[in-house]
Amino acid sequence: MTEPLQRPKRKDPLKRTRLPTQPPELRSRRSHLLTRAAAEGVFGLPGCSDCGALHYPARDTCPECLSDNITLLPCSDLGVLAGTTTVQISNNVYFRERSPWRVGLAVLDAGPRVVTHVHGDVHEGDRIRLTWRLDKSGNAVAFAEPEKPTPNMSDDAELREMTLDPKFRRVLVTDGRTALGQAVAKAFADAGAAIIFCGIADPWKPWPGEEKLKAIPGVEIMPLDVTDTDSVNDLADEIGGRVDIIVNTGEHIRPGGITDRRGVNVAREEIESGYLALMRLAQGFGPALKFRGADGVNSACAWVNVFSIYAQMAWPTYGAYSAQQAAMLGASLSLRGELRPGGVRVVHVFTGPTEDEWFQPLPPPKVSHGQIAKAVVDALRGGVEEAWVGDIAQDFRARLQQNPKALEREIGQ
């Protein structure tokens, strides 16, 4: 059984903050099949599409039939931990700082043997479930976990290096005015976050849910207007060094394609509150997050952006909004690359139309804010980079992968 994680002590202000280091990050291009699996939280093994042989590590050609048609094939994630060893010292600085570190050899029911990181609750000869996890370098590594959940399993020190668990971490929810922001704040309180800073713009405007939000344990209301550079910088100056997870919950949904509108004022509001807001937040909070990527149990670890699926393919009925989301997605992909060296992961949560006033005329199914909030917390606990919430988003994703052109023609039909 894993020792439950204890609330971290307050930091000794006289001690230097350790800089983030990284496990080895170079991978072959083919190995990124596994990076994708880890990023999406799915399991499979590199395999030959021609003869069906599975193998590990990923190879450029099939060891059985020499085909270069290698892809990720779904298979059982179960197996046996054939052996383990504990690394007491390593030449790699990242592991040296975290030793002793257990590794092992998993023999999968599907055949291949995989060198793997090992959860503290599994031992030689145990049945295990193998997962692909993103490590601090952003690449896939194998992780052998108990076949069935064990108490406090997510508190395992090695696993916590791979996940982004909110427990005892301090979160900034960028817009506490929205139903989404409030649902996210509640989900983080339930997940054991230590502090949930909730940004509120224009405090002179009343907002629904104010009393309920303030009553959530750990919630602290902070002045934050993401459309105002000074406001973002002021808050970053005040709490930037105490934020471990940022969840960007800003929304500015307006209907209409780009020919439907007179002038660009609404588009400007969309860009200000979306794309430029993300840039302001990145400039304000990014440097401290990157700096604190290895700052103890409650190190900085994640930045979550919630996107509409229409970021990936414009829906002309909400065309200008889709464009705003696409612009944000582009910025967020850059942010992902910029924060990775600091051990901070940028997580994208994609959703279809939500139970939002601005989607009111649309027929169900629509995604509730509670569902999105749960998906955000689940994504962090699972350590994934991409999550898709609800049936519409899942269907959209499948169609996008299958034939983007068909999706483009059929969208909104």
Quickly tell me which residue has 């506490």 as its tokens: 176
The only residue of 230, 259, 363, 409 in contact with another protein, by rule CB under 8 A: 230
The only residue of 225, 251, 270, 355 in contact with another protein, by rule CB under 8 A: 225
Q: Given the rule CB under 8 A, which of 222-230, 240-248, 292-300, 363-371 is the region that contacts another protein?
A: 222-230
Q: Given the rule CB under 8 A, which of 12-20, 202-210, 243-251, 380-388 is the region that contacts another protein?
A: 202-210
Q: Which is nearer to another protein, 64 or 228 (CB)?
A: 228
Closest to 39 in 3D by CA, of 152, 138, 159, 167: 138
* Cα gap 162→165, rounded to integer Å: 9
Q: Is 361 in the site for another protein (CB under 8 A)?
A: no
The only residue of 21, 227, 298, 351 in contact with another protein, by rule CB under 8 A: 227
In angstroms, give the least distance from the CB of 357 to another protein.
9
* Cα gap 259→395, rounded to integer Å: 28
Q: Is 100 in the site for another protein (CB under 8 A)?
A: no
Q: Is 356 in the site for another protein (CB under 8 A)?
A: no
Q: Which is nearer to another protein, 213 or 384 (CB)?
A: 213
The only residue of 3, 60, 68, 202 in contact with another protein, by rule CB under 8 A: 202
Closest to 249 in 3D by CA, of 294, 314, 187: 187
Q: Is 354 in the site for another protein (CB under 8 A)?
A: no
The only residue of 15, 148, 204, 361 in contact with another protein, by rule CB under 8 A: 204
Please tell me the count of residues contacting another protein according to CB under 8 A: 15
The only residue of 116, 178, 231, 322 in contact with another protein, by rule CB under 8 A: 231
Q: Is 174 in the site for another protein (CB under 8 A)?
A: no
Q: Is 211 in the site for another protein (CB under 8 A)?
A: no
Q: Is 265 in the site for another protein (CB under 8 A)?
A: yes
Amino acid at 221: I
Q: Is 363 in the site for another protein (CB under 8 A)?
A: no
Quickly tell me which residue has 């944000």 as its tokens: 328
* Cα gap 200→156, rounded to integer Å: 35
* Cα gap 390→46, rounded to integer Å: 28
Q: Which is nearer to another protein, 156 or 225 (CB)?
A: 225
Q: Given the rule CB under 8 A, which of 30-38, 97-105, 181-189, 260-268 is the region that contacts another protein?
A: 260-268
Amino acid at 226: V
Q: Given the rule CB under 8 A, which of 1-9, 52-60, 198-206, 372-380 is the region that contacts another protein?
A: 198-206
* Cα gap 212→280, rounded to integer Å: 28
Q: Is 12 in the site for another protein (CB under 8 A)?
A: no
Quickly tell me which residue has 């052998």 as its tokens: 144
Closest to 221 in 3D by CA, of 233, 240, 235, 234: 235
Backbone angles phi, psi at 347, to 5 degrees: -110, 130
Q: Which is nearer to another protein, 12 or 357 (CB)?
A: 357
Q: Which is nearer to another protein, 266 or 289 (CB)?
A: 266
Q: Is 210 in the site for another protein (CB under 8 A)?
A: no
State the CB neighbour count (10 A cutoff) for residue 16. Answer: 6
Contact 243, 170 (CB under 8 A): yes
Q: Is 270 in the site for another protein (CB under 8 A)?
A: no
Q: Is 203 in the site for another protein (CB under 8 A)?
A: yes
The only residue of 15, 205, 405, 409 in contact with another protein, by rule CB under 8 A: 205
DSSP E strand boundaries for 298-360:
302-308, 345-351
Q: Is 234 in the site for another protein (CB under 8 A)?
A: no
**Tokens of residue 181, six digits:** 């922001």
In angstroms, give the least distance from the CB of 212 to another protein.
16
* Cα gap 171→9, rounded to integer Å: 17
CA distances to 119, 180, 196 from 370, in Å: 31, 7, 16
Nearest 10 degrees: CA dihedral of 321, 252, 246, 221? 180
In angstroms, give the least distance from the CB of 254 to another protein.
8
Identify the helix (H) or strand (E) that includes residue 277.
helix 275-291
The only residue of 266, 288, 392, 393 in contact with another protein, by rule CB under 8 A: 266
**Tokens of residue 191, six digits:** 């997940």
Residue 152: partners with Cβ closer than 8 Å, 6 or more residues away: 1, 2, 3, 4, 5
According to DSSP, residue 367 is labeled B
Binding site for another protein (CB under 8 A): 202-206, 225, 227-231, 265-266, 268-269
